[in-house]
Amino acid sequence: MTDSPPPPERAAGLSLEYQPLASPPAAPRWPGVVAWVVILTSAGFMMVSNLGRDAAESQRAAGAAERQLVLSVQYGIGLRQVLPTAPTGAIAQQLEGLAKTQAHRLHAAIAAAELQGADQAIKLLKPLLSQQLEDEQLRQDAALVARIYRDGPGVLDEHARQKLIDRHGFFGRLVLSYNQPDTDPLRARVLAESRRVALSLVGFGAVALLLGGAGMVMLVVAIVLYLNGLLQPLYVRQPAAGTVYLEMFAVYLLAHIGMSYLLHVIFGGEGQKISLGWNWAVAAALPVTIGYGLLRKHPWQEIRYALGWHAGRGWLIEVPLGIVGYIAGLPLIILGFGVTYVLIRVSGATPSHPIQGEASGPPGQILLLYSIASLMAPVVEETMFRGALFHHLRQRRGWALSAVIVAILFAAIHPQGWATIPVLACIAIVLAGIREWRSSIIAPAVAHAFNNAMVVTLLVLIQ
């Protein structure tokens, strides 16, 4: 991509006289080496911590698998309401693959009764009834479920029915409403929840495909315009920067780790969960990072340009172009999602995010979740990943290599799990492309916020 300086009328949104210095002064190499050691060590520590947390927090991992089971059967039930002829046998078979615990196997059997019939459910229940389970209560519940499929929900008294719901939630309501009329209150609730999930997932998928198709057209047009010299990136290299922005990124990772640890020590405690609002405190890593750059006696104007903290062509232009850039990058993101989906199916992994459960809270909590996902995270992460780190790499490397390096680090340190690295990396590459195109961080931050807002909205709708 071209690195020619911008014309005066778009001098990076800073002063009209601003131009990055072209001749870098001699500088020692050791700060950059130290910064890379810190970055790679910190990233490795965060990856290991994420894996360790997934192994230690077996309850959260089991909860993620349970939620997948619930969503899958709700999707199947809801899809059958919308399209009565829709085949649901494949969904039932998929549920058996998702069953990772004895409780999951019970729930998969309950789902099979709904999607394939009571005979299939009783067949799946036999292993739970014939073997000695560690959880004797679970074996008793399996016997109750088998009895319901043979004799109907009326065989249980109200106390037994409520205990089954208390222990198994949605699946308790599902088995107790089996073969009941749609007007039955419990059955009506199950159907309403399932219909909402199915419509949300189908609608989300349809919107993604429509936007993906539009994005493919936009991407092809953009490539043609670029090859014909009609679409010029606005980003300009800053070779005089040395390694200060690499150092700032290393400081950011250290500050992020330190702040997260401090929050856990002060507000979390052993085995406790930090309140969602305290996630905002992690944003304190940003001023610490900028302060380091100023202490290194780097001019504020240069720091602003490097981080993309300028208005570009103006907010009214950069904000919508952030959405345009995201849509144009959707084909790559969908490709990454496809790879992630294959990895999940092959490995049986159950990706989840620590704040995923917050989408089912009260309105104030959901609003706080939106603010973290679509305001704090895009501003902080775009400033540091597509700002500091990408800017450093672009001084000596091409756009593609710089974008891929940033994308790998970005995806690897996120807590969703290793299987999501392909889709997260593809998102990061798209954001790096928008940064190269617009120079200002506004557009990639808006694209990042748009992506996160869609994900949070889907999570809220399917709760």
In a domain, 185, yes or no: yes
Q: Are 304 and 363 found together in one domain?
A: yes
- Which has more pLDDT, 54 or 360? 360
Tokens representing residue 355 in the block:
């704040």
Are both 276 and 421 inside the same structural domain?
yes
Residues 123 and 159 in one domain: yes
Q: Token pair for residue 94?
A: 């998929």
Q: Report the SS3 class of residue 237.
A: coil
Does 278 share its domain with 173? Answer: no
pLDDT digits (tens, 9 = 90+) for 421-438: 999 999 999 999 999 999
Q: Which residue has the higher pLDDT, 384 or 271?
A: 384
CB 330 within 8 A of CB 213: no
Quote the mean pLDDT of the chain: 84
Co-location of 343 and 428 in the same domain: yes
Q: CB-hemisphere CA count at 13 Å for 91?
A: 24
Domain membership flag for residue 252: yes
In a domain, 378, yes or no: yes
**Model pLDDT for residues 281-318, shown as the tens digit of each residue:** 888 899 999 999 999 988 888 899 999 999 999 999 99
Higher-scoring residue by pLDDT: 264, 380: 380
Shared-domain flag, residues 161 and 290: no
Q: In angstroms, rounded to a whole number, what is the distance separating the alpha carbons of residues 134 and 100?
A: 15
Domain boundary among 148, 168, 197: 197
Among 154-158, 172-176, 233-237, 242-246, the minimum mean pLDDT is found in 154-158
- The answer on 286 and 173 residing in a single domain is no
Domain membership flag for residue 13: yes
Residue 22 DSSP code: S
Residue 369 makes CB contacts below 8 A (sequence gap 6+) with 276, 355, 358, 359, 361, 456
pLDDT in tens, 104-121: 888 888 988 888 888 888
Please enumerate in sequence order all residues whose Cβ is within 8 A of that of 288, keeping only pairs 6 or more positions apart, or say none. 251, 252, 255
Count of domains for the chain:
2
Structure tokens at 217: 């057209």
Q: Is residue 69 situated within a structural domain? A: no
Tokens read off for 324: 């345009």
Per-residue pLDDT of 139-164, as tens digits, reads 888 888 888 988 888 888 888 889 98
Gap between the Cα atoms of 121 and 110, Å rounded: 6
Range of 140's domain? Answer: 78-197
For every residue of 173-225, DSSP letters joined together read HHHHTTT--TTSHHHHHHHHHHHHHHHHHHHHHHHHHHHHHHHHHHHHHHHHH
Q: Is residue 226 part of a domain?
A: no
Cα–Cα nearest to 322, from 232, 188, 168, 448? 448
In a shared domain, residues 86 and 187: yes
189 in a domain, yes or no? yes
Verify that 189 and 250 share a domain, yes or no: no
Same domain, 247 and 285: yes
User: Higher confidence at residue 55 or residue 331?
Assistant: 331
Assigned domain for 220 exists: no
- Same structural domain, 19 and 131: no
What pLDDT, in 10s, does the model give residues 171-196? 999 999 988 898 999 999 999 999 99
